[in-house]
Each structure stands twice: as C-alpha cells, then as structure tokens.
Structure 1
Amino acid sequence: MTPADVTSRDVNWQDVKLRDVTLRDGLQLTGKPLPTARKVEVIRTLLDLGVPSLEIGSMARPDLVPAVADTLDVIRALTPAELAKCWIWVATPRHVERAAEAGARNFQYCLSASDQHNKANLGRSTEDSLAAMPSALDLAARVDGAVQLCIATAFTCPFEGEVDPDRVLEIVTDARTADAGEVVLCDTLGQAVPQQVRDLVTRTAAADGRPIVYHGHDTWGLGVANSLTAIEAGATTVDGSLGGLGGCPFAPGAAGNTATEDLVFALRPDWLTPDTFGRLVRLAEGLLTDLGEPNRSRAGAGARASTTAFAWAS
C-alpha cells in the first residue's frame, strides 16, 4: 500500500471511533485535582452522550502524576458494563495485575519508541518494557482482558529529536508485542505533520494488520488535520480530550491533546446531534472551570457564536 492508495481509500467516517482521554492524559498537567466522584460523573455523562470509548486513568506512580492517584477508586466505582468501554494506562505487569483486581478489563500498555523518553517516563529502557510485555499480556488474558500496544514518541522525542519510523515498526512487529489487539501511535509532542502521520500509519497498517489508534496532540495546531489524515491512512480510532486538555510531564514542550469537541464536530459520528454536541461543549466548559484551565477547543468556541442560522451553534 502506498500513500497514493490511501489518499483514494474510501472511508466511512461514521465508523471511526473517538476515544476520550480527558481523565488520563487530559489531567496530567492540571494544577488542581479532580475528585473521584466528579471523575465518575464525567465518565457516565460521556458514555450517556454516546462516546464509545474512554481512557479513565493511569497506574503511574501517584507521587509523579498525582492527578491520577485515585485510578483504582475510579475503577471500583464503575460497573462491568461501563468498564467494558474504559481503558487504563499501564506500563508493567504489576500495573495490569492491580488494575484487573479492581475490575479493569482494558489495558493500554505503554512504552516509548525513543529510549531516553522511556527512561524519563518509566525509569527503564524501551527494551526492558518490551521484555516485560509478555507477562503483562498473560495477566490480562487471565481475566479475558484486552491490551493495546501504545507507542509514545512515535514521531519525535523531546530528548532525541525525530524518531526513525523503522524503530516504530520494529516495536510493532516484535514478537513480544504480537498478542496486543491494537496499536496506538502517539504524536506525544504534537510536532508531526500530516505527511508524516500518513506515512507511518500506512507503513504500520501494511506491516502488521492490527487496528490502529492515532493519539495526537495539538501543540503546533495540526491535531485535527493529523487525526483526519491518520483515518484516511487506515486508523480506526482517534483520541481526544475535552477542551484540548493534556500533556506529558516527562515530555517538555508537549501541549494538550486534540480537543474532543473539535474531533467529533469534524467526524460527525452517528451518535452526535446538535443537542448532543451542545451538551458535550457544556460538559467541557464546566470541567475546565473546575480545573481552572483554559479551553482550547475551536469547535467549542464556535458553538458559542451568536449566529442562529447554523444548527451546531448553541
């Protein structure tokens, strides 16, 4: 498959899934904590609106990422049906074990394509993370869980610069990652441009065949463009966070994720109506007010426009 083939590929845009990652990636750099009960309320509101998939927490060390220190409490507060649509960030077999004991069944096993970022983020080399992955997969299988292979710094690294796409493909095709059901390609710093996204998603799809999730940040203003390009190249899910919240505490220069509101406005999934969109915008505004964070969603701002002739303006 070539980039030209992908450009002409028929895409059923309503089949593309949006995963909201507000309660994991979105909260990592916020200055104020969000109470557990408020997190559960946000989860249930998003699911009620029709958002098909959520990332709701992380097993990262609470002293390093205090905003997600209550992840196990959040998991325990949800029903099995709700947890079936929720993902937990993990980086070790022990993370999987503890989250599974609390009730989680979907695990995003994360490592970095660049060794220096893996050491800064996880305190170990990328090779060490790869070596531990089969044990994590085995623990997830014991509870009939699903695992995604999440590759951070798939495009650029704050310490090493541009990442060789061949390095990403080495990880994707490594036998130790083969039992993960999906591959998540992360533009951790938000520095990729559409052609880079197209090429890497295309090459990953051709080399592997598993469903691809694209996780983008909007640091350089290309979050939506890169997400749409990833879909055209073969990605079936894209990540976003309410109001463009997000960032990585171990990736200097990373700004927020692509805004959920912007992505759904562009994609128009079948669960989205002008009324649903308005509710989503109001949810984001309330959450950002609680956190004292700015709203970076352009679609959210558009929804507050004074015109009444456009159905999506509220």
Structure 2
Amino acid sequence: MSDSMLERPALRDVTLRDGLQLTGKLLPTDRKLDIARTLIGLGVPELEVGSMARPDMVPPMANTLEVISELTDEELDRCWVWVATPRHVEKAAAAGAKNFQYCLSVSDAHNQANIGRRTDKSLSDMPYAIEITRSIGGRIQLCLATAFSCPFDGVVPEQRVLDIVADPRTAGADDTVVCDTLGQAVPAQVTSLVRGVRETAPDRRAVFHGHDTWGMGVANTLAAITAGADVVDGALGGLGGCPFAPGASGNTSTEDILFATRPDYLDPAVFARLVETSDQLLAELDEPSRSKAARGARSNARAFEWVIGDPTVSSS
C-alpha cells in the first residue's frame, strides 16, 4: 500500500456521538464544544457532534441541540449530526446544523430495535429528509447500520446493502456510510462491500464506519481505504458502541487510524496532543483506552519520535 493511498481518505472523528452514547454520562455542552474545537484545531477534517436520538433512550446525547447552536458556521461545515427521521432533520437544522447522517439499519430487526420502524419505512421517509436538507443548502448521508451483520438476524447479504444503495428513494444522498456495527467483519468483506458501494453509487463519497470488537478495526479500515473509501470513522480511545446492538463494542480508535494513515496534518507533536486529549476525556468518563497507538505513545521507547512517554513515570 503506497503512502499516497494511505493519505487519501479523510478521518471523521465520531467521539461526540457514537463514542459517548454507551458511557451513560452526559458531558456538559461546554466540554463537548472544547473537544470539538480541539479536534478541529488539530486538523481533523470532519466530526460527528451528536444525535437526535431520544434523550430518554440515549441520555449522553441530550444536549446535542445546545452543542449545535454554539458552533460557528465554519465549524458546522465540518460537523455531522445523526438523524433517523425528517423531523430530526428539521429540529437539527433549526438549531443550525448543515450536515445530516440519515441512519437506517439494513436488517429490519435492528432497525426496529434502534429506530422503532421497519427498514422500508425509513427508506420511504428519506426523500423528505433530503428535501429539507436541500432547502437549507446542507449535505445528507445515507448511513447503513448492520451492513455486515445483525445481532438478531446474523450475516447480512451484501446484495441487500447494494439494493438499498441503488434504491431510488436514496437518490440525492451525498455519501454512503457502511457500518460494521458489531465489528464482526473481516478485511475481505469490507473490501468487497466498499467496492460494490462505489460502483453502485459512484457520485457519492464512500464512508466506512468500523468497530474493533474482534480486533479487526484498523485492518478493516485499511481494507476500506484500499477499496476506495473517501472517509473513515474513528473515536478517541476506541470509545463507543450501539446501545441497541448486543455484542457491539467500541469504535476503531482515532489514534490508531491516524497513526496508521499519517495524514498531512499529523506529526508527532499533533499526535501527542491528540493522545493527551483522549486521555483526559477517558479519565473524565472513567473509561479505559482501547487504543494500541496511544499505549505505544506512552511507552519508554524514547528513540521513536512518536513516543511521548508515560506521565506517571519519572524521567530521573
């Protein structure tokens, strides 16, 4: 894999949405804004900043509208909000959001558990969500959860995913996001599906959203890049998971993806700040870091320029 290929995709950090939704803790609006602005300042090109899911169902997302309303227009250009209905789009747009990740599950069982309706109903509503988005000059993604496997139905046929991508009701989407919701996919599956998505909808960006449940997060992300993914998702410290998908664990780590892909904006100093930002957040949430790159950065291999050392170990 060439260096140019590794640098091709953009990273979208999903800490403030997928990363937080299983933590059970509501971060204050100011803290979420601080994290978003830190990541943007470090060069991360895109972020997920929240979800329109019901606060009683996903409490850590309760202040999403407040976060959106405090972000500047320039910041909002780089931020995405999870939505599942046209009404979600309307409410988020009224707060100032411009970019919407319209999510539905490929499997009916998970869509019913996650969103409370069958997949076909979500598809039937998507043209209205697209219409609202276009009316404000925004962007909208077709986001396909359980694109590889479902916790209730098992393996999801690839053709089922491609049929949804080709469905006329999704016409007008700017991107297609394929999600390994359970982290059960392997690189060959990711390569095949991402290629199929690009061939089926060549006018859209292809986005890969992976989880690291079975240790394949980085491998699957690199497979997606090789297959032509334009954007890949990650979360600080590998935080995250779906509250309505038994067996799902954290996202692929932002630190691990960036260390592997080395985008132009990443150097050892930026990486050190990223690791420190992640460490601080994880400590606040009382969550462990699942990032192997962050663990490596805290090692004592001082001759390696990416090492920042363990702050608990004295240098004397």
In structure 1, the partner of 2:24 is 31
Q: Alpha-carbon deviation of 1:10?
A: 9.2
- Would you say 1:240 and 2:242 are equivalent positions? no
In structure 1, the partner of 2:225 is 231
Change (3 A) 1:163 1:79: same
* TM-align CA RMSD: 1.1
- In 2, are the aligned partners of 1:33 and 1:291 still within 8 Å (CA)? no
The TM-score with structure 2 as length reference comes to 0.96
- Would you say 1:129 and 2:109 are equivalent positions? no
In structure 1, the partner of 2:215 is 221
- In 2, are the aligned partners of 1:11 and 1:232 still within 8 Å (CA)? no
Change (3 A) 1:40 1:137: same
The separation in 1 between residues aligned to 2:291 and 2:164, in whole angstroms, is: 33
The TM-score with structure 1 as length reference comes to 0.96
Q: Deviations over 1:251-302 (max 9, x none)?
A: 0000000000000000000000100000000000000000010110000000
Secondary structure of the corresponding residue to residue 60 of structure 1: coil
Number of residues paired by the alignment?
Answer: 307
- Would you say 1:112 and 2:105 are equivalent positions? yes
The separation in 1 between residues aligned to 2:2 and 2:302, in whole angstroms, is: 36
In structure 1, the partner of 2:64 is 71
Structure 2 counterpart of 1:27, one-letter code? L
- In 1, are the aligned partners of 2:12 and 2:234 still within 8 Å (CA)? yes
Change (3 A) 1:10 1:297: closer
Which of 243, 249, 254 is equivalent to 1:249? 243
- Percentage identity across paired residues of the two chains: 61
- Would you say 1:272 and 2:266 are equivalent positions? yes
Secondary structure of the corresponding residue to residue 150 of structure 1: strand
Structure number with greater CO (CA < 8 Å, separation at least 6) is: 1
In structure 1, the partner of 2:90 is 97
In structure 2, the partner of 1:5 is none
- In 1, are the aligned partners of 2:25 and 2:59 still within 8 Å (CA)? no
Secondary structure of the corresponding residue to residue 15 of structure 2: coil
The separation in 2 between residues aligned to 1:249 and 1:57, in whole angstroms, is: 15
The separation in 1 between residues aligned to 2:89 and 2:3, in whole angstroms, is: 37
- Would you say 1:288 and 2:275 are equivalent positions? no
Q: Alpha-carbon deviation of 1:11?
A: 5.2
Q: Deviations over 1:68-114 (max 9, x none)?
A: 01000000111000000000000000000000000000000000000
Secondary structure of the corresponding residue to residue 219 of structure 2: helix
In structure 2, the partner of 1:3 is none
Structure 2 counterpart of 1:31, one-letter code? G
The separation in 1 between residues aligned to 2:45 and 2:17, in whole angstroms, is: 16
The separation in 2 between residues aligned to 1:279 and 1:178, in whole angstroms, is: 40
The separation in 1 between residues aligned to 2:178 and 2:253, in whole angstroms, is: 17
Which runs of 5 or more residues in structure 2 are unaligned?
A: 309-316
Secondary structure of the corresponding residue to residue 16 of structure 2: coil
Q: Alpha-carbon deviation of 1:34?
A: 1.0
The separation in 1 between residues aligned to 2:2 and 2:124, in whole angstroms, is: 36
Q: Alpha-carbon deviation of 1:202?
A: 1.2
In structure 2, the partner of 1:211 is 205
- Would you say 1:149 and 2:142 are equivalent positions? yes
Which runs of 5 or more residues in structure 1 are unaligned?
A: 1-7
In structure 2, the partner of 1:80 is 73
- In 2, are the aligned partners of 1:30 and 1:291 still within 8 Å (CA)? yes
- Would you say 1:44 and 2:37 are equivalent positions? yes
